[in-house]
C-alpha cells in the first residue's frame, strides 16, 4: 500500500473565548496519497478552510491545535517552530486561496513575486528564476508571458490572476497543494478552465491536492476521493463516484439532492431544513440530528465515529450493524 503523503489524525482545533472554549474541528482524520486529489466539501462553517489553514500552519490566533497530529512525508509538522514551518510552506506545501487579490501584492509585479518565491526556496540565480517564472506563466496559459511577467496584478483579469496564483503555488515544486475554494470568485466558464488547468498542472508536476470547495460539481469533475464535513467533523469519506452516486450519510444525500440535473424532467430540489449549528450550540450526539430526516433516539445522545458503509465510510448510526440487527 502506498504510504500517505499527508496524514491528518484526530485533529482538534479550539478557539478560547471569555465565554468558554469553542471547538471548531473535532477528531478530523484523513490521508492524501502522492498524486491524489482529495476534495473537502460542506456548507459554510463546516470547517473546510480551517482544516486547510491548520495543515499549512496559518491558523489565526487565538485558534490553536489542541489535539491530534499532522504528518507530512513521515514528519510531524503541526508542532514545528514558526521558522521551520515557513521552510515547509511554499517549498513542500503550496497554497491557492479563494481571492487572488489577497494572494498577490498590488505593489509588486507578478514576476517579482514569482522570482522571489522561487529564489527563497530554490538555489537558483535571478536569471534562472526569471526563466522558470516565465515557463510557469506559459504553462498556466498566460499569453506573451515574457512581457506580462513585468505587469502588476491589477493589469490581469480575475481568471488570469488566479492562473498567476496557481503558478505561484507551484513555483518551488511542492508535493502538496492546498487549494481553498480557488474558483469561487470566477464565472462559470473561467471556473471550468481553472479546474482543468489545476488538474493538468498537478498531474504534470506530480503534486497531490487538497481541494476545498462547497461545489459538488467541482468535486465530481476534479477529485479522486471526497471528504464531506459538517460542524467541524468528517461525516463521510470515500471514492468520489461512490459518494456522489451512492451517498451513505443523510447530509451527503441532502447535498446531492440540492444539485439540479441537466437532463430529464425538472423536479423540485431537495432542501435541507435548518442551518449549520454555531460553535457554541453544537447539539449533543450527531451534530446533524436536528436536521436529519432519519434521526432516531441514539443519534440524539451518542456521537458516531466513521463506520464502514460499503465503498465509503460514514459517521452515521444507520451503518452500525448491531443497531440494524436490533431494528
Q: Estimate to the nearest angstrom the gap between the alpha carbon of 96 and the chain centroid.
A: 10
Region at 91 (left for phi over 0; alpha for psi -120 to 50; beta for the rest): alpha
CB 164 within 8 A of CB 102: no
- pLDDT recorded at residue 327: 45
Say what the pLDDT of residue 185 is.
67
**Amino acid 244: pLDDT:** 92
Q: Give the pairing of strands 307-309 and 312-314.
A: antiparallel
In degrees, rounded to 5, the angle at the alpha carbon of residue 174 between the alpha carbons of residues 143 and 6 is 135
- Are 35 and 203 in contact by the 8 Å Cβ rule? The answer is yes
| Entry pTM | 0.90
Query: What residues have CB less than 8 Å from 46, skipping those under 6 apart?
Result: 229, 230, 231, 232, 276
Beta strands in 195-264 (DSSP E): 208-213, 225-230, 233-239
Task: Classify the C-alpha dihedral 162-133-142-167 as positive or negative.
Answer: negative
Beta carbons of 145 and 19 less than 8 angstroms apart: no
DSSP string, 268-306: PPP---S-PPPGGGPPSSSTTGGG-TT--GGGGT-----
Record the cell numbers describing residue 8, joined without a space: 491528518
Cell numbers representing residue 78 in the block? 503541526
pLDDT value of residue 271 = 79
87-116 b/e with 16+ CB inside 10 Å = b?
ebbbbbbbbbbbbbeebbeeeebbbbbbbb
pLDDT tens digits, the chain, 327 residues: what are they? 468 999 999 999 999 999 889 999 999 999 999 999 999 999 888 999 999 999 999 998 899 999 999 999 999 999 999 899 988 998 999 999 887 778 899 999 999 999 999 999 999 999 999 999 999 999 888 989 999 999 999 999 888 898 899 899 988 889 999 999 887 767 777 778 888 888 887 888 888 999 998 888 888 888 999 999 999 999 999 999 999 999 999 999 988 887 777 666 667 777 788 899 999 999 999 999 999 999 999 999 999 999 999 999 999 999 986 554 444
Q: What is the pLDDT of residue 326?
A: 46
What pLDDT shows up at residue 325? 45
Q: Which three cell numbers stand for residue 282?
A: 453544537
Q: Work out the burial of residue 324: count CB atoms within 10 Å of its CB; fewer than 13 is exposed, 13-18 middle, 19 or more buried.
A: exposed
Peptide bond into 156 cis (omega under 30): no
In the prediction, which pLDDT does 322 show?
Answer: 56
pLDDT tens per residue across span 197-219: 888 878 888 889 999 988 888 88
Amino acid at each position: 500500500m502506498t504510504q500517505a503523503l499527508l496524514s491528518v489524525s484526530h485533529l482538534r482545533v479550539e478557539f478560547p473565548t471569555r465565554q468558554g472554549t469553542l471547538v471548531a474541528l473535532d477528531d478530523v482524520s484523513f490521508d492524501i496519497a502522492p498524486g491524489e486529489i482529495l476534495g473537502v466539501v460542506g456548507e459554510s462553517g463546516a470547517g473546510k478552510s480551517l482544516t486547510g489553514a491548520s495543515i499549512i500552519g496559518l491558523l489565526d490566533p487565538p485558534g490553536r491545535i489542541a489535539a491530534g497530529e499532522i504528518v507530512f512525508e513521515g514528519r510531524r509538522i503541526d508542532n514545528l517552530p514558526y521558522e521551520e514551518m515557513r521552510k515547509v510552506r511554499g517549498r513542500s506545501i503550496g497554497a491557492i486561496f479563494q481571492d487572488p487579490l489577497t494572494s498577490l501584492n498590488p505593489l509588486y509585479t507578478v514576476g517579482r513575486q514569482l522570482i522571489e518565491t522561487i529564489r527563497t526556496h530554490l538555489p537558483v540565480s535571478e536569471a534562472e528564476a526569471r526563466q522558470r517564472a516565465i515557463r510557469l506563466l506559459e504553462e498556466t496559459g498566460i499569453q506573451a508571458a515574457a512581457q506580462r511577467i513585468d505587469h502588476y496584478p491589477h493589469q490581469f483579469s480575475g481568471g488570469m490572476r488566479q492562473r498567476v496564483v496557481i503558478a505561484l503555488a507551484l513555483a518551488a515544486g511542492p508535493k502538496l497543494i492546498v487549494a481553498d475554494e480557488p474558483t469561487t470568485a470566477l464565472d462559470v466558464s473561467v471556473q471550468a478552465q481553472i479546474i482543468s488547468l489545476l488538474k493538468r498542472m498537478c498531474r504534470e508536476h506530480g503534486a497531490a491536492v487538497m481541494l476545498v470547495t462547497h461545489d459538488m460539481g467541482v468535486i465530481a469533475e476534479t477529485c479522486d476521493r471526497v471528504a464531506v464535513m459538517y460542524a467541524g467533523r468528517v461525516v463521510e469519506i470515500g471514492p468520489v463516484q461512490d459518494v456522489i452516486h451512492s451517498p451513505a450519510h443523510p447530509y451527503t444525500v441532502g447535498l446531492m439532492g440540492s444539485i439540479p440535473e441537466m437532463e430529464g424532467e425538472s423536479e423540485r430540489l431537495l432542501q435541507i431544513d435548518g442551518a449549520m449549528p454555531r460553535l457554541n450550540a453544537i447539539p449533543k450526539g450527531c451534530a446533524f440530528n436536528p436536521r436529519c430526516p432519519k434521526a432516531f433516539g441514539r443519534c440524539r445522545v451518542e456521537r458516531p465515529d466513521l463506520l464502514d458503509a460499503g465503498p465509503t465510510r460514514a459517521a452515521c448510526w444507520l451503518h452500525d450493524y448491531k443497531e440494524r440487527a436490533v431494528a
